[in-house]
Each structure stands twice: as C-alpha cells, then as structure tokens.
Structure 1
Amino acid sequence: MKSWYTIRARASGAEVLIYDEIGAYGVTAKGFLAELGALPEGTPVDLRLNSPGGSVFDAVAIYNALKRHAGEITVWIDGIAASAASYIAMAGDQIVMPENAFLMIHDPSGLVMGTAEDMRTMAEALDKVKGSLVTGYVAKSGKPEDEIAALMAAETWLDAQDALDLGFIDRIAAPVTLAAAFDVARFRNAPPELVEAAAGPVEPAETAETAPEGVADGNTQLTPASPVPEPASSVADGNASSDAAVVRAEVIAHARAVIDLCRLAGQPQRAGRFLEEDASLDAVRAALLAARAQTDPEIFPAHAQPGPGPSARPWGDVIARTFRQKG
C-alpha cells in the first residue's frame, strides 16, 4: 500500500520522511505511531518534511508522539511544511529550513452536513483544535497567543528568514530548487513562485545535510548531491518485516473502523483523540453513545417531527451494531 511517510533506521539513528499529504491513501497516523514507537528508546530522529498538510487530527497525534520521544529530533523542511505539516515541525528540538523553503500556518477547517446544532458542534471542535495548534506554535516561537492566532487566521506563508525572525525555526540552510508536486493553489495565499514551481523536480543544495535519499513513494523526490550510505539496519529488514506488516495492517484496520464510527456518529473530530488513547472499538461505541444521549433533545409526540419515519433504525442502534463483527 502506498504511504505518505517512511521510517527507516540508520547507523546514527532514524530518518522519518513525510513527503505527501498526511492521512492520504487511507493510511492514518496509527501506523506511523506504531513504527515510531518501535524505535529503540532515545533514538535520534531526523524528520524531513515536504508536505502540504492533511489531517489535523493525525498531525496532533504525531506531534504529541514526537514530543514524547526521548531522542533528539531534528526537523528538516525540504520544500514546504504547510498547514498540519507545519504543526508537526514544531515538535523538533532543532528545525532547519532552506532559505527559499516555505512554512505556512492557518486556521483548521472541516466539513459537516446536518442541522444547525451539527454546525455549532463542528465550530466548537474547530475552536478547540485551533487552541491546541496555537499552544504548539507558541511553545516553539515564544510569541503571544493572540499574535499566533492572528497569523493563523490570515493564512500566513513564511520563508526561512520570516520563520527564523518569528522563532518558528532555529537555522537557515542553503536554498533548494523548489518543486512541490502538491496542489498549493488551493490555498488562498500560496506564494506565486511556489505555485509556478509545482511541477518540476526538487534539487537539494550541494551539501550533505540537505541531501536525503530519494523517496520512491512520495509525490516529490530529492536527488542527493552525493551518495548517502545505505542504512546499517532497517525496521523492515529480516524477520521484523512480516511482523511489522501484520502490526501495520491491524492498526490501519482499527483506525479505519474508529474513523468510520465517528463519522457515522457525526463526531469526526473525536477520532484523533480515540486513536491517540488507543481506545478499543467497544470503548469508542460507548463514548459516542454516551455523548449522543447527553445531547439528544426531548421529542414531544404532540408535535410532528421532521426526518425519517418510524421505520428508520434509531441512531444508537446503528452505532451499536456497526463493526460488531470486525471488533
């Protein structure tokens, strides 16, 4: 299965690459967290980012996991770190950015279809998510919360110098030839030079520190200026390969089931928290049913009610039965 991330061991630690849209291809953060957790305690990590963002819930889970990791984390922004990817970058102990790369922060967004109450619930969830994001950006930059919130509301794109001045990164590296094969034009303030560069290859600077191996599964590849040694070991080598594949298949199936349950319940914003807590499907169902019981309004039979007739299955029955056979 194609994935938006790669984790591989090296002689001096581990390299983590996120070179695509976070949460794409049906692969959630659950598999990422399982592989990250399999690294030896205290392993130094080089996290390389070239991503337009993606699932904010996955990004929050990844950020928290990286912050809990005991080893030193160095983040390299190899092209763009936009939206949710910029939040993941904030987990780095050191963040390095080529002088012509870009970092973008903005308000989280989401889709909901339903009643006015559904809309209000989504708005409240987005406000809570933004609060979490603001906290992460503030922790790295040291800027006041209201300043960060204003930058997010404006969808702010930062080059390396801007990011350094605001405290989002620690060091500027030599420039790269930009070409992010992502649809950055969908963002309202995407820099024109980044939009124009959205089709060609990325050529890293002539330095070892900015030249990772090409990534076969990513939308964009980096061709190293000089050969990079093969890893001394790999998390996918030998007998660990089949074990890792089984674990990954299980966590992906579980994550999909949790996400589908939350969507069916009209509470997609809760999926990220359930996955981070490693909640079982029974626990997820119980929590969703309890939340629904607290928010369901009283229905008075004296008044005609809109919606499906009495033959429709009750919402709670649908949730209670969903994925029973899979759980």
Structure 2
Amino acid sequence: MKRKEMHYCQQVDGNVHKIFLYDDISKYGEWNWETWDYDESETSAAHFQKLLEAVPDGEEIELHINSYGGSVSEGTAIYNLLQESKAHKVGIVDGVCHSIAFTILQGCDERIMGYGTSAIIHNMWASVTGNAKQLREEADKLDVCMESCVQLMMRRATIDEAELRAMMDAETVLTPQKALECGLIDKIGVEQKEEPRTEQLLAENEQLIKQLNNRTFLDAEVKKFMRAVAPAQKQKSGFDAFFQKGEKNEHR
C-alpha cells in the first residue's frame, strides 16, 4: 500500500505555516509486517491535528491541496479541525481537489483555486458486502452522511440546495470559474507580490549617491563604524584624534 503523505514546514519569510495535502485522505498508512499493524498515515485527521498544534494562534496556515479525495470520516474531521483553529486559514488548490478534499477546502477562511485546477462534487459511495438487510442498513448510513455533507457545503454556497444536490447527483466537475459562481470558492489564482517599480529603484539609487557624495555624512558614518569595531584604546588615541583634527579643519 502506498504511504499517504502530508508534508509540513514553516515558511522562513513571515509567520505562514504551509501544509501540503498531496495524496488521498486515509486513516491508515502502510502495513507494517514487523508490528503487524498499519503505520500512521500522514493524511489522517490525527496527524493533521498534530500539525495544527504547532501553529500559534493568530498566525496563518496555507493549506495546499492536490488530492483525489479519500475517507469521508477523516476528511470531515480535518474540516472541523480547521474550523476550530484560531489561525487564519488560506486553502489553495494546486492541482485537483476532488470529493472529500473539496470539503476540506471549505474549512478554510479563504478558498482559492489556481488556474487550470478542478474540483469534483458527488454523492458518497461505499464498497460493502453482506445480505440484503445489511446492504439496506449501509444505504441508510450513506443517506445520513450525505445529508450532513450537503448541509456543510450549503454553509457558504450561494446556489440553492436543490441545485447543489442535482450537481452532486450528476458527479459534477467544477472549473474554478464555476466554483466561484456557486460560492464554493472565494478567488481564482494566487496573487503575486509586486516587484519594486523601476522609478522607485532609480529614486532610491539617486538618494544613495547623494549621501555618498556628502562628506559630512560619510565622516559621521565612518566615525560611527570605527568606534564600533576598533579596540577601545586605539579608538580613543588614534581614530578620535584623527576625526577631531578633521573636525577642526572643517571649522576653519
């Protein structure tokens, strides 16, 4: 069984904590023949809860998603963990965001789909075996889960419930534009930081040249530097004497 991975790291520049959900959501990791049990999955709700504990209140989480979905129970738990977190959550779809992964996105304060990405909403399904009674019981359970999922999506959707249910019945693929129209995301594309304008750089460069051409400014800066790095004795006997002499000459 392929291991499910969710990587976590803190961005060096600023207080942004990035979580990358780049696999199916699952409670179980690989089967470990030594322990005769499953390893911990890095896309489980339990693992996600550990990641959130490391994020201080008031800071920002960037949740990057590229997942085809997975376990409904694990995904729903991750959604609620995001809702409970006091950090500011920004969900960003980097590739696909299908099924329960799209539900997780709804737990973020800001929901963004990148250009060329897709989402899928559909009715839940399960693989079961058993007699007729057991199959009917499983179908009833699915109906309850579906009702909860619909109500969760309707918390922020701008379409009516009947339209949402029809889209889920049809297993609808959503483009970023369609998701935006339905109120299921807030924005398309991630804004890039603006580079300094040429005029601004030229003005700063001109100001620097003026400062370098200013002898008084240079002497003051050099004097400050030499006092900071020179030994105390040499500083007083040598460099101070030099600058004092220079200052007297300037007053003539």
Shorter chain as denominator, the TM-score bin is: 0.5 to 0.7
Give the drift of 1:2: 4.1
Q: What is residue 16 of structure 1 aligned with on the other side?
A: 19
Q: What SS is found at the alignment partner of 2:137?
A: helix
Match of 1:90 among 94, 102, 106: 106
Write the distance in 2 (CA, Å) between the matches of 1:118 and 1:34. Answer: 36
Q: What SS is found at the alignment partner of 2:113?
A: strand
Counterpart code for 1:4: E
Write the distance in 2 (CA, Å) between the matches of 1:37 and 1:116. Answer: 44
Give the drift of 1:119: 0.9
Q: What is residue 29 of structure 2 aligned with on the other side?
A: 25
Seq. identity, %: 31
Q: What is residue 152 of structure 1 aligned with on the other side?
A: 168
Q: What is residue 146 of structure 2 aligned with on the other side?
A: 130
Show the 5 A alignment for 1:78-227: 78-173=94-189, 207=192
Q: What SS is found at the alignment partner of 1:25?
A: strand
Q: Which moved more, 1:80-89 or 1:108-117?
A: 108-117
**TM value normalised by structure 1:** 0.51
Root-mean-square deviation (CA), in Å?
A: 2.2
Write the distance in 1 (CA, Å) between the matches of 2:124 and 2:193. Answer: 35
Give the drift of 1:161: 0.8
Write the distance in 2 (CA, Å) between the matches of 1:38 and 1:123. Answer: 39
Give yes or no for contact 1:98–1:160 (8 Å, CA) kept in 2.
yes
Write the distance in 2 (CA, Å) between the matches of 1:120 and 1:109. Answer: 13
Write the distance in 2 (CA, Å) between the matches of 1:46 and 1:172. Answer: 15
Write the distance in 2 (CA, Å) between the matches of 1:37 and 1:124. Answer: 36
Give the drift of 1:55: 0.7
Greater fraction strand: 2
The runs of at least 4 aligned residues of structure 1 exceeding 4 Å deviation read 206-209
Q: What is residue 208 of structure 2 aligned with on the other side?
A: none
Describe the shift of the 1:208–1:153 C-alpha distance in structure 2 as closer, same or farther (beyond 3 A).
farther
Give the drift of 1:208: 6.4
Q: Deviations over 1:211-262 (max 9, x none)?
A: xxxxxxxxxxxxxxxxxxxxxxxxxxxxxxxxxxxxxxxxxxxxxxxxxxxx
Counterpart code for 2:6: Y
Larger Rg: 2
Give yes or no for contact 1:7–1:36 (8 Å, CA) kept in 2.
no
Q: What is residue 67 of structure 2 aligned with on the other side?
A: 51
Q: Deviations over 1:97-145 (max 9, x none)?
A: 1232101101111011112221122111111111121112111213222
Give the drift of 1:4: 2.3
Write the distance in 1 (CA, Å) between the matches of 2:155 and 2:192. Answer: 30
Counterpart code for 1:56: V
Q: What is residue 93 of structure 2 aligned with on the other side?
A: 77
Q: Does 1:66 align with 2:82?
A: yes
Counterpart code for 1:151: M
Write the distance in 1 (CA, Å) between the matches of 2:54 and 2:3. Answer: 20
Q: Which moved more, 1:110-119 or 1:31-40?
A: 31-40
Write the distance in 2 (CA, Å) between the matches of 1:43 and 1:114. Answer: 49
Q: What is residue 222 of structure 2 aligned with on the other side?
A: none
Give yes or no for contact 1:81–1:103 (8 Å, CA) kept in 2.
yes
Give yes or no for contact 2:4–2:25 (8 Å, CA) kept in 1.
no
Gaps of 5+ in 1: 175-205, 210-327
Q: What SS is found at the alignment partner of 2:120?
A: strand
Write the distance in 1 (CA, Å) between the matches of 2:70 and 2:81. Answer: 17
Give yes or no for contact 1:86–1:103 (8 Å, CA) kept in 2.
yes
Write the distance in 1 (CA, Å) between the matches of 2:21 and 2:50. Answer: 15
Gaps of 5+ in 2: 31-40, 195-252
Give the drift of 1:39: 2.4
Describe the shift of the 1:81–1:9 C-alpha distance in structure 2 as closer, same or farther (beyond 3 A).
same
